[in-house]
Amino acid sequence: PTPRTILLTGAAGGLGTLMRGLLPSYGYRLRLLDMLPIEGEPGAITADLADRDALRAAVRGVDAIVHLAGISLEAGFDKILKANIEGTYNLYEAAREEGVRRIVFASSNHAVGFTPRPQGDDPLIPIDTPRRPDTYYGLSKCFGEDLAQLYADRHGIDTVSVRIGSCFPEPSTVRMLSVWMSPADGARLFHAALTAEVSGHTVVYGSSANTRLWWDLGPARALGYQPQDDSEVFAARLIAEQGELDPANPAHANLGGAFCTEPPIWPY
C-alpha cells in the first residue's frame, strides 16, 4: 500500500524545508520532527534524536519515515556519534517497536567519498563500489546503511538508502555539476523510494540526470525514479567563474571533493 502519513525528521534543515514544500503534492501528510522549532509549523515535534520516548511517540502510527535529521557536515567524532550513529539507531529502534515498515535514509556520497571520480571515458561509479568514507560524517552514513541492512534482515524493516549528492536549489560549484540533485528530482526520488515495491535494504545514488554525472543512476531508476533536471544549464557560468576541475588538485580528485582534504572544506 502507498504510505500516506510520513514522519520527516530534520524538517527544519535545508533539505527538510525543501521537502516540506514538495512532498505534500504527492499526497503525503507530513509529521515533522527536528531538534529546532520550525517557524510557522506549530504542530511540529521539537525533539532530539537522543530522546527515545519522544521518538517512539513521533513514529507511532506513521506509514513510513524519511530520515534527514543529523549533522550534515564533518564534525568531531563525539558529536557525530551522538547525532548520526546513536540517533539513527534510536530512530530504527522506535520504528521497530512501533511497527513502521519503511524508512528512506538520507545517506551521502561521502560514504564513498574517497572513490576517485571518473575522468574522460571512465565508467560511472557503480552502487556496489567499496565504501570509502571521507570523514567521520561519511563513516556515520556507512553505519546508517549497515544499520538499515541489519534491521531489514532481522526485523523486516525495508529501507532505501539514498546516497545524496548535493541537493540545493542550484549547484554552486563545478563539482556540483556532477553530483547535483534538484529539489524537484529529490522529491521524485523520495517518492519513488517510499512507494517502490522493494523489500530489504536498497542503496541508490541520488542526483539529477546531469550531463557530467559521476555515478550510476540505474538503481534509482529501478525504483521508478525518472529524473527531469540536468545541471548543465548552470555549467557555463560556474566554469567561467571557477574553471574546470583540476585532477591534480586533491580537492577535485575524488567523489567527495574537498571533504577529502585536510581539514575537510565545504563548499566545493
166 binds ligand 15L per the rule CB under 6 A: yes
Q: Site map for ligand NAI, 87-106, x if CB under 6 A?
A: x------------------x
Which of 41-49, 102-110, 189-197, 244-252 is the region at the interface with ligand 15L (rule: CB under 6 A)? 102-110
Whether residue 136 lies in the annotated active site: no
- Name the nearest CA neighbour of 65 among 79, 76, 55: 55
Spell out, one character per residue from 19 to 58, where the chain touches ligand NAI: x when CB under 6 A holds, - when not.
---------------xxx-----------xx---------
Please state, in angstroms and as integers, the Cα–Cα distance from residue 129 to each residue in 91, 153, 158, following that order. 27, 21, 22
Q: Is residue 108 a contact residue for ligand 15L (CB under 6 A)? A: yes
Interface with ligand NAI, residue 257, by CB under 6 A: no
Examine residue 15 and tell whether it contacts ligand NAI (CB under 6 A): yes
Any idea what the Cα angle at residue 156 is, between residues 2 and 24, rounded to 5°?
Answer: 25
Min dist. Cβ of residue 141 to ligand 15L (A): 8
Burial class (CB in 10 A: 0-12, 13-18, 19+), 126: exposed
- Nearest distance from C-beta of residue 57 to ligand NAI, angstroms: 14
The stretches of 156-182 forming alpha helices (DSSP H) are: 176-179
Which of 32, 58, 66, 72 lies at the binding interface for ligand NAI (CB under 6 A)? 72
CB 139 within 8 A of CB 84: no
Residues in the chain: 268
Measured in Å, how far apart are the chain's first and last C-alpha atoms? Answer: 40
Q: Closest CB to ligand NAI among 3 and 16? A: 16
Please report whether residue 177 would count as binding ligand NAI according to CB under 6 A.
no
CB atoms within 10 A of CB 1: 5
Count Cβ atoms within 10 A of the Cβ of residue 166 and give its class: 0-12 exposed, 13-18 middle, 19 or more buried.
buried
Given the residues 28, 92, 136, 137, the one annotated as active site: 137
Element (H, E) at 159: strand 158-164
From candidates 8, 64, 66, 68, binder to ligand NAI by CB under 6 A? 68
Taking CB within 5 to 8 Å according to partner kind, which of ligand NAI, ligand 15L, none is near residue 266?
ligand 15L
Q: Grid cell 580537492 — which residue?
A: 251
CA–chain centroid gap for 215, Å, is: 15
Options 28-36, 96-104, 107-115, 243-251: segment touching ligand 15L (CB under 6 A): 107-115
Among 20-28, 37-45, 105-113, 246-254, the segment contacting ligand 15L (CB under 6 A): 105-113
